[in-house]
Chain A
Amino acid sequence: MLAEPGVVEGRGPEPLLKVEGVSKRFKVHGRTLHAVERVSFSLEAGKTLGLVGESGSGKSTLGRVILRLLEADEGRVVFCGQDLAKLSAKELRARRRDMQIIFQDPLASLNPRMTVAAAIEDAMVIQKIGGSAAERRRRVDELLERVGLPTSAGYAYPFELSGGQQQRVGIARALSVGPKLVVCDEPLSALDVSVQVQIIELLRQLQQELGITYVFISHNLGVVQLLSDTVLVLYLGEVVERAGAAELFAQPQHPYTQALISSVLKVPATALDRRPLVALPGEVPSPLSPPAGCTYHPRCPFATSRCREEKPLLREVSTGHFAACHYAEEAVVRVTPAGGAPLAQQVAVGGS
């Protein structure tokens, strides 16, 4: 194993994953696309971190930088006490058994020329797990059962399975190498609602049984709240708010988070509870030209000249609750639980 003496493998107080000031930029036709900008957080073993954001938020890119499938331009990713950037290619490949990913489009992530069993077995072959073919085959069957598929599914090709089944295969494959951390990149988006619940339940069970740590990337706020311990809200590559899940959704401090939560259409309890649609104006600017100062200021109803000039830092607004907004304390809002009711707009912000 790669454990160096003295390095705690995710047990105890040392977090499993520490991301420190990570940035990732892409060059597009000579211009710079700011995909991820100075993101920091830490994640303890067995917990789930939710990454929330819309298009251009950089959440998927961040997920890949965490796994070093993309190289960070700034900052570092420390996994199990090791700076991933310092690993050689060979060491990194070996390390990958501890950190896996499941994809938004499970069909695209599976090799159409490999049967389900072959795909899962290949994962073990790559990581040199399981001494013999027979042993690997046995483990494949175990895994299939674990994710709720019949062992006969092993003989099928990915295109023969439904979306939900394909995702289960993706999960089985990720599990086969025994990871400590699994990045889930929008794993439910391509699935029907009734199937989503099944997959959510599966992910939960696996976390309980195996102690897996999740980074759960999604634009579905309800699911993120359900599964996450801590939530990061991203906008144009930056963290605008970070808090425990319950706290963040009950008392969002950043105007963007508030707008995001209130934009999600909830099923009203009765026809009378239906409210008129209130839309946040404007659209997410292009990550090629993020606005100056606070990147959210062009759309923020509380923006002042200060917001235009000065970039707000992520600061602690209440215990364990961080927001990147100059006026976070004044913009306090409560969301009524079991709602249907949108957010009430808040106290006017002082100053110009």
Chain B
Amino acid sequence: MAAITLSPRAAVSAQRRSSQAALAWRRYKRNKLAVFGAGGVAVFLVVGLIGPWVAPQGYQQSNFLYANQPPSLRFPFGTDGLGHDMLSQVLWSFRNAIEISFGATLVSFLIGVALGLWAGLRGGVVDMVVMRAVDFMYALPNFFLSLILVVTLGRGIFPILLAIGVVGWAGYARLIRGLVLGMRNGEMVEAARALGATQAHIARRYLLPNVTNSMLIALAFGIPFDLIAMGALSLFGLGPRPPLPSFGNMIAQAGANVLGYPWLLYFPAGIFAVILLSFLFVADGLQEALNPRGGS
């Protein structure tokens, strides 16, 4: 039989052992906003980690003599009514922002994936029940549910994270259930069944790896939305309990005084907006990189 050669493209990648991850990374890099966003997220994480050490002052430290000062060399972000250094407040806020947003997203994700997988794989009554639950969650005003939960559970970091996470699982469930359903009747799963694979093997080696892309994108979108939820809770006075600073609290308090002391709003709100946008750009970039549309 005549030797069959691979096309040049395949031969090259065979040498480099390129993975789809490498190709996706190249596509991602082409999107300038996504790269910027990745930088923003990186900064966010780093500051969250080292913020408390880098901050000039502890968040509780008041400088009564310098209350309500506009930005200066000593207080680059100005001070608030109690003389807190706003820069330090902001730096300290990063930490709980990460904890709450990532934590809540993780909770939503775990609940959603578990339910979605179960519904997609079992089908029948299980699927129906889970989907009705999803519809129910969509019908409820999630935010007010979170409010009630925080009132009930308290204003600690963990209860807040739980309150946001527990109401946000529906999107993930629906997503993964749809993906699984789509794959279950396809030839890939049929081929695996024909080989004698068990359901568990199929789920583990065929279904799950093919949903990770979509899951990653969903997570990337989920985090900024949970950040917003956290901020909204603070506006209602149900965010992390002072004196622990949080973006939401700062924005809420600054809102009352914006005319007199605008820096109290601009810095926290501006930085918060940049963080949100960074995540959104990253999520969008991931979506382009992992699910490219158009000619490729």
Direct A–B touching, Cβ under 8 Å:
yes
B184 to chain A minimum Cβ distance, whole angstroms, is: 13
Closest-by-CB residue of A relative to B193 is A69
Q: Is the CB of B14 within 8 A of A152?
A: yes
**Residue in B closest to A183 when the chains form the complex, CB atoms:** B194
In the complex the two chains form, is A93's CB within 8 Å of B13's CB?
no
Check B3–A150 contact: CB distance below 8 A: yes
A150 to B3, CA, bound (A): 8
Q: Which of B190-214 contact A (CB under 8 A)?
A: 190-198, 201, 205-206, 209-210
**Could you tell me if A112 and B196 are in contact, using CB atoms closer than 8 angstroms?**
no
A208 part of interface (Cβ distance < 8 Å):
no
Which residues of chain A are within 8 angstroms of B187 by Cβ–Cβ distance? 103, 105, 108-109
Chain A residue with Cβ nearest B12: A160
**When the two chains form their complex, are residues B195 and A96 in contact, meaning their CB atoms are under 8 A apart?**
yes
Q: Are B195 and A157 in contact (CB under 8 A)?
A: no
Please report which residues of chain A, range 133-168, place their CB below 8 angstroms from some CB of chain B when the two chains form the complex.
Answer: 148-150, 152-157, 160-162, 164-165, 168
Q: Residue B1 contacts which of A67, A69, A123, A202 (CB distance < 8 angstroms)?
A: A202
Residues of chain B contacted by A152 (CB below 8 angstroms): 6, 11, 14-15
Which residues of the partner chain A approach B259 to less than 8 Å between Cβ atoms? none
Rounded to whole Å, the gap between the CB of A152 and the closest CB of chain B is 4
Q: A126 contacts which of B5, B11, B20, B196 (Cβ < 8 Å)?
A: B196
Minimum CB–CB distance for B245 against chain A, Å: 43
Residues 1-25 of chain B, each 1 if its beta carbon lies under 8 Å from chain A, else 0? 1011111011101110100100000
Q: Is the CB of A123 within 8 A of B186?
A: no
A112-B11 in contact (CB<8A)? no
A61 contacts chain B at the CB level, 8 A cutoff: no
Q: Is the interface of B mostly helix, strand, loop or mixed?
A: helix
Do A126 and B197 touch across chains, with their CB atoms under 8 A apart? yes
Complex contact B13–A110 (CB within 8 A): no
**Which residues on A sit within 8 Å (CB–CB) of B190?**
69, 101, 103, 109
Q: Does A113 interact with chain B (Cβ within 8 Å)?
A: yes
A100-B206 Cα distance, complex, nearest whole Å: 18
Cα A93 to Cα B196 in complex, Å, equals: 4
How far is A198 from B1 in the complex, measured between Cα atoms in Å?
A: 9
Distance to closest chain A CB from B42 (angstroms): 27
Q: How far is the CA of A127 from the CA of B3 in the complex (A)?
A: 30
The one of A110, A126, A150 in contact with B195, judged by C-beta atoms closer than 8 angstroms, is A126
Q: Give the chain B neighbours of A314 by CB distance below 8 A.
A: none
Give A18 to B222 CA distance when docked, in angstroms: 55
Q: Which residues of chain B (168-192) have a CB below 8 Å from chain A?
A: 186-188, 190-192
Given contacts A150-B5, A157-B13, list 4 more A-B pairs with CB under 8 A: A153-B6, A160-B9, A161-B10, A165-B4
Q: Which residues of B contact A (CB under 8 A)?
A: 1, 3-7, 9-11, 13-15, 17, 20, 186-188, 190-198, 201, 205-206, 209-210
* 26 CB-based A-B contacts, threshold 8 Å: A67-B194, A93-B198, A97-B196, A101-B190, A103-B191, A108-B187, A111-B209, A112-B20, A113-B210, A122-B205, A126-B196, A148-B3, A152-B14, A153-B10, A154-B14, A155-B13, A156-B13, A160-B7, A161-B7, A162-B7, A165-B10, A177-B195, A177-B196, A198-B4, A202-B1, A205-B1
The 3 closest A-B pairs by CB, nearest first: A96-B196, A93-B196, A109-B187
